[in-house]
C-alpha cells in the first residue's frame, strides 16, 4: 500500500449512524485474525442491509405496505416471496385495501385511472370475494400470488361454469396484473436506493444523488487511515528484531485515529484490546493484502476510470441505470 499523502477526512460525518453497532460488535467479538474481522463484517453487513431477517419477516415488511423509503434492499428482494398467510384479507374491506395498496401504497388514487385502466374497478374484487366464500383455497391462491395454482383449482371439486368461471378467470388475470404492477414499483424502489442509500443505514447521505464515485469518495478516508496504520505500526516481534519505529510513531498514529474516527472508539475499548491482539490482527491484515491484486486497492487510491458520471446501479446491475432497471421490469 502506498501512502496517500493527503490528510484523512473525519469519517464520523458519513459513517456515524451504525458505528456504535460496529464498534460494540467488534470489541465484543474481539477478533485477533483478519478472518475473524471478515466474519464480523459479514454479520454486520446483513444486519445493516436488512438481510439478517427471515424471508417471512422480509415479506411481511414488504406486504405491510409501509413507505418505500422505510424498506431495506433485503425487504424489496422479498417481492419474489408469496404473500404471508397472516396478511391474506379476511373481509371485503381488507381485500379492497390490499389491492389498493398493491396498485399504489402512497394512497394517491387521483392518478390511478390514468395508468390502471379497469384494475381499480372494485366489482371484480366483490366477485372474487363471493367466489372465495365457497372456494377458500382458490381465494387464497389468487390473493397470495399463486396464480398458476389458482387456475388449476378451478377444476377441483365442482367445476365452475358460465359467468362464475368467467369472473374467476377475470379475477386471476387482474390479480396477476396487479402483482406485476407491484413488482415494477418494487424495482423502481430498488433503483431509487442506488441513488439515495446504497450502503443502507451505514452511511449518511452526503449528496442529493449518490453516484458510483460517491462511494469511493466516502470510503477513501477509511483506506487512508488503514494505509497510515499498516505502514507505520511496529509489532513487538518487529521491535525485537530491530525494526526502527516508523514516522509517524505510535503517538502520531493514535492521534490520527482519534482525529479521523472521533466519536467512534472510546478509550476503554482500546485499553481492553491488548497489544498482542493488535499485533496479531495487523500481521494477518498485511498477509491478506499481499494476496490481493492491484485492482483491490486502485479504486480507493484514485478515482476509478469511468466512475465519474456512473450510477451505483450500473455497478450493481450490469450497467443498467435506474431508468433502465424500471423499464426492464415494466
pLDDT at position 321 is: 82
DSSP letter at 87 equals: G
Task: Please state the three-class secondary structure of 6-29 as a single string.
Answer: CCCCCCHHHHCCCHHHHHHHHHHH
Q: Which residues are CB-neighbours of 163 under 8 A, at least 6 positions away?
A: none
Contact yes or no for 230/289 (Cβ under 8 A): yes
* Length of the chain, in residues: 330
Full pLDDT tens readout for the chain, 330 residues: 444 444 444 444 555 555 666 666 666 666 666 677 778 778 777 877 788 899 999 999 999 998 988 898 889 888 888 899 999 999 999 999 898 888 888 766 666 555 555 555 788 999 999 999 999 999 999 999 999 999 999 988 888 889 999 999 999 999 998 999 899 899 888 888 888 877 766 665 555 677 777 777 767 777 777 777 777 778 888 888 777 766 545 555 555 555 544 455 555 555 566 778 778 878 888 887 777 666 656 666 665 555 667 888 887 777 788 887 888 876
pLDDT at position 109 is: 60
Contact yes or no for 309/214 (Cβ under 8 A): no
Question: pTM of this prediction?
Answer: 0.71
pLDDT at position 147 is: 93
Dihedral, CA of residue 223, residue 228, residue 230 and residue 232, to nearest 10: 180
pLDDT at position 262 is: 46
Residues 233 and 166: their CA atoms lie apart, in Å, by 76
pLDDT at position 20 is: 63
Residues 270 and 274: their CA atoms lie apart, in Å, by 8
Residues 227 and 260: their CA atoms lie apart, in Å, by 13
pLDDT at position 5 is: 46
Contact yes or no for 191/265 (Cβ under 8 A): no
- Give the DSSP letter string of 68-85: GGG--HHHHHGGGSPPPG
pLDDT at position 127 is: 94
Amino acid at each position: 500500500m502506498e501512502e496517500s499523502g493527503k490528510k484523512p477526512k473525519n469519517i464520523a460525518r458519513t459513517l456515524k449512524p451504525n458505528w456504535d453497532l460496529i464498534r460494540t460488535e467488534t470489541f465484543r467479538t474481539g477478533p485477533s485474525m483478519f478472518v475473524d474481522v471478515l466474519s464480523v463484517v459479514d454479520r454486520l453487513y446483513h444486519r445493516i442491509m436488512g438481510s439478517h431477517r427471515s424471508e417471512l419477516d422480509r415479506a411481511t415488511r414488504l406486504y405491510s405496505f409501509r413507505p418505500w423509503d422505510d424498506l431495506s434492499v433485503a425487504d424489496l428482494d422479498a417481492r419474489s416471496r408469496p404473500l404471508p398467510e397472516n396478511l391474506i384479507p379476511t373481509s371485503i374491506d381488507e381485500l379492497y385495501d390490499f389491492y389498493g395498496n398493491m396498485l399504489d401504497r402512497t394512497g394517491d388514487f387521483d392518478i390511478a385511472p390514468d395508468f390502471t385502466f379497469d384494475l381499480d374497478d372494485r366489482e371484480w374484487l366483490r366477485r372474487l370475494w363471493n367466489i372465495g366464500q365457497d372456494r377458500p383455497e382458490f381465494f387464497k391462491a389468487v390473493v397470495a400470488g399463486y396464480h398458476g395454482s389458482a387456475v388449476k383449482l378451478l377444476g377441483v371439486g365442482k367445476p365452475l361454469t358460465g359467468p362464475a368461471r368467467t369472473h374467476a378467470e377475470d379475477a386471476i388475470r387482474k390479480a396477476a396484473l396487479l402483482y406485476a404492477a407491484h413488482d415494477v414499483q418494487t424495482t423502481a424502489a430498488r433503483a431509487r436506493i442506488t441513488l439515495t442509500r446504497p450502503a443502507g443505514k451505514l452511511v449518511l447521505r452526503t449528496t442529493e444523488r449518490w453516484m458510483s464515485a460517491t462511494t469511493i469518495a466516502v470510503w477513501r478516508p477509511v483506506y487512508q487511515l488503514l494505509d497510515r496504520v499498516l505502514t507505520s505500526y511496529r509489532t513487538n516481534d518487529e521491535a525485537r528484531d530491530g525494526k526502527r519505529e516508523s514516522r509517524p510513531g505510535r503517538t502520531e498514529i493514535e492521534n490520527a485515529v482519534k482525529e479521523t474516527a472521533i466519536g467512534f472508539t472510546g478509550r476503554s475499548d482500546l485499553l481492553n484490546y491488548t497489544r498482542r491482539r493488535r499485533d496479531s490482527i495487523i500481521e494477518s491484515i498485511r498477509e491478506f493484502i499481499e494476496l490481493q491484486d492491484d485492482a483491490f486497492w486502485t479504486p480507493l487510491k484514485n478515482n476509478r476510470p469511468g466512475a465519474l458520471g456512473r450510477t451505483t446501479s450500473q455497478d450493481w446491475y450490469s450497467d443498467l441505470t435506474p431508468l433502465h432497471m424500471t423499464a426492464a421490469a415494466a
